Amino acid sequence: MTRRRAALFVRIAVLAGSVLLLEICCRTGIIDPLTIIPPSEMVVSMIDRIGSGEFNDSIASTFSTIVLAFVLAIGLGTLAGALLHRSSRLRDVVDPLLASYYSVPTFIFYPLLVALLGLGKAPLVVLGVLSAAPAVIISTLSGLDSVSPVLLKLARVHRLSPARTLWWIVLPAALPRLFSGFKLALSYALIGVIAGEFILSGTGLGYAISFAYQSFDNRAMYGLMLFVLLVAITANGILYVWEGRLARRRSSG
Amino acid sequence: MNEPSHVALNEVVRHYDGPPAVHALGPIDLAIPRGEFFSIVGPSGCGKSTLLDVLSGLSRPTSGSVQFEGRELHGEVPDGIGVVFQEDASLPWLSVRQNVGFGLRTSPLSEKEVAERVDHAVSFMGLAQFADHYPAQLSGGMRQRVCIARTLVLQPRLILLDEPFGALDQQTRLLMGDELLRLWRETGATVLLITHALDEAAMLSDRVGVMSARPGRFIDMVETGWPRERDSRIVSDPNFGTLTARLWSSLREESLKTMGRAA
Amino acid sequence: MSDLALEDALSKRKSRGRIRAFDAAVLALLILAIWQAVGSWTRGIAVSPPLQTLAYLFDLLRTSMFWDHATATLAAFLLAFALSSLIGLALGLIFGVRRFAGEVAEPILAGFYTIPKVTLYPVVLLIFGLGMSAKVAFGVMHGLVPMTLFTLGAVRNLPPVLIRTAMVLRLSPGRTMLWVLVPACLPDIVNGLRISFSLTLLGVLIGEMFSSQRGLGFLLVSGMAQHNVPLSTAVVTVIVAVAIAANALMLRVGGRTTRRPN
């Protein structure tokens, strides 16, 4: 068995073991059922509630907000990154801002956004973009930096137009780093939107979880929580695997 | 020579503004007739790569003119020139076959013709076994072969090579030299090779230009007189030793100057 | 390089420095101008303008109410940060040295990073109840994993020759860690501390924002609830200033700058 397979096996065993342990502790009463319900019941609750369709609106709302924030973050982020890359003076000025951006908790601006834009989707989208776009800008800059100058010379030798140079040489060369920025963007947009809904919102899955908590409806709450966690893990997992595939060609593996 | 040269440099000078300001090259006068295999040797930093940039149209001379096939170059690479760079310019996201076919993406040739040319270039450079591999899985020498095949496929009339075998070991270099000669004979192209290896220049070329330390100028032109059908076994010819000795005697002073400057 | 060329290069560098300082000043003014514009355009409903905020902040800093909340946040934060860094450091070192365990754990940790941890808050509240322990738990929840991952990475990237040297010198595992591993990994560890700092602060503040009666996070939200815009703007300003200052300090200590190829 290869080492990678062995690690995967152990990992699954550890995770399954932990879930099993939790299940046993809950069922035997070591853990108070008012605090945490057994994982099996979480799964049942999730299938129940999601299947019943009562949360379809919330799901649609949350996912559409996340996707919108993600797309905007990527679009604005790559454009801004490309612009900064062209102007080294502008880049020098903005660099310290980017470096310290993620040291500030973006959340603290959320109440301000709500006061500015009302209680709806708009502040959530803005929050998502504010969380995700700088990561895209940073990775775009890094990706463009990584394009070896000899490839640009190659483009000139082949007399490629600027558009073709961008599409056939620059973008493929920068893609690994760009993609890792996109991965971060999805993760941050998802976290931003759901956290925003949780704290201060009237719609969406985040709000539904908060509402269930405040109504002491533990079953619904855990069911929804599990759903959100599974979606987050799956979405990020897909991008992670995709990234691995792209990288494998370019490595000596 | 009555025939107009294939490529010519007239009093070409190249300055860089800096800081610091550098007089990198020239004045250079050079005329290469069609089909010649011409090499340039010189100490490091003498402006060999700058010369190649100017010759290919990648950069413009500060003064003087560059002509290719009778027409002056204006800072653009004209049709018919192929360049193989010193650094690895293989595209890591494309397979060997896709890399080789890269230059033909914009050509009006039919798919079938493109595939034919690609297959021919790939097998000519001994890459047929690895056609579907990716550059990351190949050695440095093979990657350079991919870059040469990529140039070949465009059927260039002038091929410029900037220390293409610099990163390879001696034996591989000798074999690659033979391949280069084969390529030269088969395509009938004019070849300009920049190299720091005197033996390589002496054994491969029709003529060798020796450059001075910066600012680079030609201080010697050596005709080798080799027959067209030649390969690396020419090292056993008595003239080979004489030629290499002459190159070194011209070059030694300049190399010492460069080292003294660096110290 | 000749003397003349050297002087030339130095003066060019000085003028570049001056241009940068000028640009930075322009950027700062631009930010203040936007702040002012937004503040006055919304007639102080969302944000209060810079000068007003500054004046309010001045008064605020003299009230004991503010310092009550600030120390509450500080206490929770320090405890959370201490726990995150020490546990994170220890776990990171273990996972870094024990390669297989590290291989098993890393995707799990990385996965935890991408989860919206806010959805786990109710669980934390149910376990810890409202109050300080919940806040500390939120903070640790955010700050622990990055610290572990950074330390793990640092140890893994260590040149193997260092560990071999420790073995040749017959150092005990504890001494190997303290005398060889930690000093060698220090730059990456400081970087991890920097990231963990910001995230722990984030966790503590969010915890306060909806589950506490004390702390700067609570102050912010209650300011919104009472429509006391200068208060919320002032609190945001304080938090931003502290966060950026701490980050800059740790960047300097860690000796790292955002590097760029020429």
Quick: pLDDT tens for A44-59. 989 988 888 888 888 9
pLDDT of residue A162: 93
CA–CA distance, B55 with B61 (Å, rounded to integer): 9
pLDDT at C259: 38
The chains in contact with chain C, meaning 3 or more Cβ pairs closer than 8 Å, are A, B
Residue A253 confidence (pLDDT) above 70: no
In this structure, the dihedral spanned by the alpha carbons of residues A186, A187, A192 and A194, taken in order and rounded to 10 degrees, is 100
The CATH code of the domain that includes C113 is: 1.10.3720.10
Task: Report if residue C165 sits inside a domain.
Answer: yes
Pick the closest to residue B191 from B6, B13, B62 (CA basis): B6
Specify whether C66 is located in the same domain as C20.
Answer: no
Q: What is the pTM of this model?
A: 0.85
For residue C93, the enclosing domain spans 54-254
Decide if B53 contacts B47 (C-beta within 8 A): no
C10: chain B residues, CB-CB within 8 Å: none
* Contact assignment for C24 to A93 by CB distance below 8 Å: yes
Chain B residues in contact with C15 (beta carbon < 8 A):
none
Residues of C with CB under 8 A from a CB of B: 1-2, 5, 8-9, 12
Q: Which of A39-74 are b and which e, b meaning 16 or more Cβ less than 10 Å from the residue's Cβ?
A: bebbbebbeebbeeeebeebbebbbebbebbbebbb
- Asked, for residue C259, whether it belongs to a domain, the answer is no
Q: Which of A69-78, A211-220, C235-244 has the highest mean pLDDT?
A: A69-78
Q: Name the phi and psi angles at A120, rounded to 5.
A: -160, -145
Question: B19 or B211, which is more confident?
Answer: B211
Residues of A with Cβ-Cβ distance to B60 under 8 angstroms: none
pLDDT band at C5 (very low <50, low <70, confident <90, very high): low
Contact B19/C8, CB-based, under 8 Å? yes
State the average pLDDT for chain C: 85
pLDDT at residue B90, as a whole number: 93
Is residue C37 domain-shared with residue C100, that is, in the same domain?
A: no
What span, in angstroms and rounded, lies between the C-alpha atoms of C193 and C187? 10
What would the mean pLDDT of C15-21 be, rounded to a whole number? 79
Residues 141-160 of A with CB under 8 A from C: 145
Q: Which residue has the higher pLDDT, C182 or A137?
A: A137
Mean pLDDT along residues C200-228: 86
Check if the beta carbon of residue A76 is closer than 8 Å to that of residue A135. Answer: no
Task: Indicate whether C241 pLDDT > 80.
Answer: yes
Query: pLDDT tens digit string along B94-129?
Result: 999 999 999 898 888 899 999 999 999 999 888 999
Mean pLDDT for chain A overall: 90
- How many residues comprise chain A? 253
pLDDT band at B1 (very low <50, low <70, confident <90, very high): very low
Q: In terms of Cα–Cα distance, which of B31, B28, B30 is closest to B6?
A: B31
pLDDT tens figures, B51-101: 999 999 998 899 999 999 988 888 889 989 999 998 889 999 999 999 999
Q: How confident is the model at residue A16 (pLDDT cuts 50, 70, 90)?
A: very high
Q: What are phi and psi of B31, to 5 degrees?
A: -130, 125
CA distance to partner chain B, nearest, from residue C21 (Å): 21
- Rounded to whole angstroms, the Cα distance separating A189 from A129 reads 7
Q: What does the CA dihedral C232, C235, C240, C245 come to, rounded to 10 degrees? A: 170
Q: What is the CATH number of domain A37-250?
A: 1.10.3720.10
CA A241 to CA C104: how far, in whole Å? 17
CB of B19 less than 8 A from some CB of C: yes
Residues C188 and C73 in one domain: yes
Q: Quick check: is C217 in a domain?
A: yes
On whether residue C48 sits in a domain, the answer given is: no
The verdict on residue C260 lying in a domain is no
Measured CA to CA, the distance from residue A234 to residue A231 in angstroms comes to: 5
- The arithmetic mean of pLDDT across residues A180-207, rounded, is 89
Q: Determine contact: A248 vs chain B, CB below 8 A.
A: no
The predicted structure's pLDDT at residue A193? 92
Residue C262: predicted pLDDT: 33
Nearest to A194 among C119, C209, C217 (CB): C119
Task: Kindly tell me if the per-residue pLDDT of B38 is higher than 90.
Answer: yes
Beta strand B63-68 with B207-211: parallel, antiparallel or unpaired? unpaired
Domain for residue C81, yes or no?
A: yes
The mean pLDDT value for A147-162 works out to: 93
Nearest by CB to residue B77, choosing from A156, A164, A168, is A156
pLDDT score, position B174: 87
Q: Shortest CA distance to A132 belongs to which of A226, A67, A88, A201?
A: A67
C33-67: burial string, b at 16+ Cβ within 10 Å, e else: eebeeebeebeeebbbbbebbeebbeebeeeeebe
pLDDT one-digit tens code per residue, C101-113: 999 999 899 888 8
More confident residue, B235 or C16: B235
pLDDT at residue B263 greater than cutoff 80 = no
pLDDT at C89 over 80: yes
SS3 A245: helix
What's the pLDDT at C257? 39
ipTM value for the complex: 0.86
Residue C196 in domain: yes
Whole-angstrom Cα distance, residue B9 to residue B28?
Answer: 7
Residue A210's pLDDT band (boundaries 50, 70, 90)?
A: confident
Does one domain contain both C114 and C148? yes
pLDDT at residue C260 in the model: 34
- C229 or A151, greater pLDDT: A151
**pLDDT tens string A19-47:** 999 899 888 888 887 888 889 988 998 99
Total structural domains in chain C?
2
- If you average pLDDT over residues A74-102, what whole number do you get? 92
Task: Say if C17 is an interface residue toward chain A (CB within 8 Å).
Answer: no
Q: How far is the C-alpha of A187 from the C-alpha of B137, rounded, in Å?
A: 32
Residues C37 and C61 grouped into a single domain: no
* pLDDT higher than threshold 60 for residue C1: no
Give the mean model confidence (pLDDT) for residues C136-160.
90
Q: Does residue C70 lie in a domain region?
A: yes
pLDDT given for residue C261 in this prediction: 35
Pull the structure tokens for residue B49. Answer: 């790569």
